[in-house]
Amino acid sequence: MKKVVTGSLVLGAVMGGLAVVQMPQHAQAATYQVKKLMGFRHPTSYYAKSAKSGYLWNKSHTKRLHNLKNYPKTTWYATAKYSMKSVRNSGTYLKVINGTGKAEGYVWTGYLKKGVNPANLNGTLTDPFGAAMSTYNVDDNLNKQLLDLFPGTIPDEPLQLAADFIFANAGANPDDYTSVIEELVGAENEPSVFRLSSDKRIQKNQNFWSFQRNSLKEELVTKHKKFTSFKGYRIGAYAFPKHDKRYGESMILLLPSN
């Protein structure tokens, strides 16, 4: 974005001659008109096309937040598309966030390519609607600690995948996440799925298991349930990993066995 410096002319008579002095004024950033074109029903995966600089901006396009070249292995998740126009420039931008939730902003579509970043050596999980996430964001050890809180339950692969995909759908319309669960466990079974979640985040030096037990117990009390109320149920559980800013948040899905 170019800056234009304007000036004012001051005229004066100096020793019978004419002196012209240019007085510079502060440069001002161009004003952008921002318009939302569409929201994505499910987060869509993208990655940087090249290792060159490409910036993520704030919504008013006045401040650079991140440079794509500093995220060579990152998969970005787009949730909406925007039009941004100034007097001299215009373009289509995506609102994106990275896997950890620590970097987000608005980036020109020309810098990105759809798909999971091939530079990331970790595996990939893709939900029924094409939203992808890296297995780097699935901590099996933390998930197992959640599962162990519910004695007598039966680990279930479709429910586990559905629970994992809360990562890619966090912040999306709740109905969108419901449709993910429907596709994985069957539309006829989705209404019977008992959801239990905690949106609290772990503070420094807190024990994960103790923290989750206390947080989820509080949620269960509001639903008139206990950890032991689900014997025989199928279960899937997801804990946001330690490297994510949402560490401490979790999602548990339980479904009565047929």
Cβ-based neighbours of 221, under 8 Å, separated by 6 or more: none
* pLDDT at position 121 over 70: no
Q: Which domain holds residue 207?
A: 129-255
Comparing 94-103, 148-157, 170-179, 237-246, which segment has the lowest mean pLDDT?
A: 170-179
- At residue 3, what are phi and psi to the nearest 5 degrees? -105, 140
Cβ-based neighbours of 223, under 8 Å, separated by 6 or more: 196
Q: What's the pLDDT at 244?
A: 86
Q: With cut-offs at 50, 70 and 90, classify the pLDDT of residue 133.
A: confident
Nearest to 146 by CA among 220, 254, 238: 238
- Which residues pair with residue 133 across a beta bridge? 125
Q: With cut-offs at 50, 70 and 90, classify the pLDDT of residue 44.
A: confident
Co-location of 185 and 96 in the same domain: no
Could you tell me if residue 5 is inside a domain? no
Q: Which of these three, 65, 88, 114, is where a domain ends?
A: 114
- Give the number of domains in the chain: 2
Co-location of 94 and 181 in the same domain: no
Structure tokens at 183: 């596709």
Could you tell me if residue 170 is inside a domain? yes
7-13 mean pLDDT: 36
Q: What's the pLDDT at 5?
A: 39
* pLDDT at position 4 over 90: no
* Residue with more model confidence, 167 or 35: 35
Could you tell me if residue 97 is inside a domain? yes
Nearest to 93 by CA among 133, 55, 132: 55
Co-location of 140 and 241 in the same domain: yes
Cβ-based neighbours of 100, under 8 Å, separated by 6 or more: 137, 243, 244, 245
Specify the amino acid at residue 116: V
Q: Using CA atoms, how far apart are residues 61 and 59, in angstroms rounded to an integer?
A: 5
182-196 mean pLDDT: 95
93-122 mean pLDDT: 87
Co-location of 82 and 179 in the same domain: no
Comparing 76-80, 128-132, 194-198, which segment has the lowest mean pLDDT?
A: 128-132
Could you tell me if residue 121 is inside a domain? no
Co-location of 184 and 68 in the same domain: no
- CATH number, domain at 146? 3.40.33
Q: Determine the straight-line distance between the first and last CA of the chain, rounded to whole angstroms.
A: 61
Q: What average pLDDT is seen over the chain?
A: 85
Q: Which residue matches tokens 């990331």?
A: 120
* pLDDT at position 8 over 60: no
Judge contact between 145 and 242, C-beta under 8 A.
no
Could you tell me if residue 77 is inside a domain? yes
Q: What's the pLDDT at 11?
A: 34
Q: How many residues comprise the chain? A: 258
